[in-house]
């Protein structure tokens, strides 16, 4: 269970959501006179627990989230952890925050700055051709990473925005990982229900495989009656037909 990844829960979510449909398809396509010994009986407790699992998975994970490893987060919905929600507010609103800061800078300087982003830092940037000669800026502006084309500056406010953004992303990953571990421990108590879901999904896959074989090879089921007459027309064993080709 410790090797379980977020994507495993997301795949499980699909099976749990469709469990009622899976059970219905199996029930409709099985002869009522024959019991299926490989499938467990679903009592009310089992059904209630499957509903609990479905509720948990549906309300925890983002609908369009598909992740490949525990290193890729941003998978949980809001409302499960207050600190996580604060981090998501910073991350989701970062473009608006940067735009507001740029608007204030451009208004104060009467120039048109943009934000030059690197992995490690963000800088205010302006084309040298648009920069008046001997233009002085606030004392906390420090020129750095400039080129022959662009003049770039570090500023206290932009540094603060960048630091808050990076901290929010890192903190989100930590909080979501801890949430994921708690969820993993919670779902361990439903192992018997997971086995039942797996059995039903596997049996549906078995039925589907047989159905595709029958359709693709045009197999038919003989009519059986209580009389003495046996009539066979163009009969061949289906498996023999597949071997011979």
**Alpha carbon separation from 186 to 4, 173, 244 (Å, rounded):** 13, 20, 53
Q: What tokens does 65 get?
A: 């989230």
- pLDDT, residue 33, reads 42
The position carrying tokens 């490893």 is: 69
- Residue-wise pLDDT tens digits, 48-80: 888 888 888 878 877 665 554 445 678 888 888
- pLDDT, residue 72, reads 61
- pLDDT, residue 228, reads 85
- Quote the strand ranges of the chain, DSSP E: 114-117, 122-127, 142-143, 150-154
Which percentage of the chain shows pLDDT scores above 70? 87
DSSP class of 72: S
Q: Tens place of pLDDT for every residue, the chain, 245 residues?
A: 456 666 677 677 777 877 878 877 777 766 554 555 567 777 888 888 888 888 888 788 776 655 544 456 788 888 889 999 999 999 999 999 999 999 999 888 888 889 999 888 999 998 887 777 767 788 888 888 888 888 899 999 999 999 999 999 999 989 988 888 888 888 888 888 888 888 888 888 888 888 888 888 777 777 788 888 888 777 777 777 677 75
The pTM assigned to this predicted structure is 0.67
Which residues are 153's β-sheet partners? Answer: 124, 143
């Amino acid at each position: 269970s410790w090797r379980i990844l977020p994507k495993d829960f997301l795949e499980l979510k699909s099976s749990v959501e469709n469990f009622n449909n899976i059970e219905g398809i199996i029930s409709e396509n099985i002869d009522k006179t024959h019991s299926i010994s490989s499938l467990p009986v679903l009592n009310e407790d089992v059904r209630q627990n499957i509903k609990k699992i479905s509720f948990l998975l549906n309300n925890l994970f983002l609908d369009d989230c598909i992740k490949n490893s525990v290193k890729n987060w941003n998978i949980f919905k809001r409302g499960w952890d207050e600190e996580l929600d604060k981090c998501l507010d910073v991350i989701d609103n970062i473009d608006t925050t940067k735009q507001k800061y740029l608007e204030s800078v451009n208004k104060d300087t009467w120039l048109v700055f943009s934000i030059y982003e690197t992995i490690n830092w963000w800088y205010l940037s302006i084309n040298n051709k648009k920069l008046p000669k001997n233009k002085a800026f606030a004392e906390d502006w420090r020129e750095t990473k400039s080129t022959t084309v662009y003049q770039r500056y570090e500023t206290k406010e932009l540094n603060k925005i960048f630091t808050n953004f990076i901290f929010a992303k890192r903190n989100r990953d930590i909080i979501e990982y801890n949430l994921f571990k708690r969820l993993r421990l919670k779902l361990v108590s439903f192992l018997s229900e997971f086995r039942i879901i797996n059995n039903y999904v596997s049996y549906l896959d078995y039925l589907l495989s047989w159905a595709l074989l029958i359709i693709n090879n045009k197999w038919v089921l003989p009519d059986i009656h209580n009389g003495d007459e046996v009539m066979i027309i163009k009969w061949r064993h289906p498996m023999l037909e597949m071997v011979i080709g």
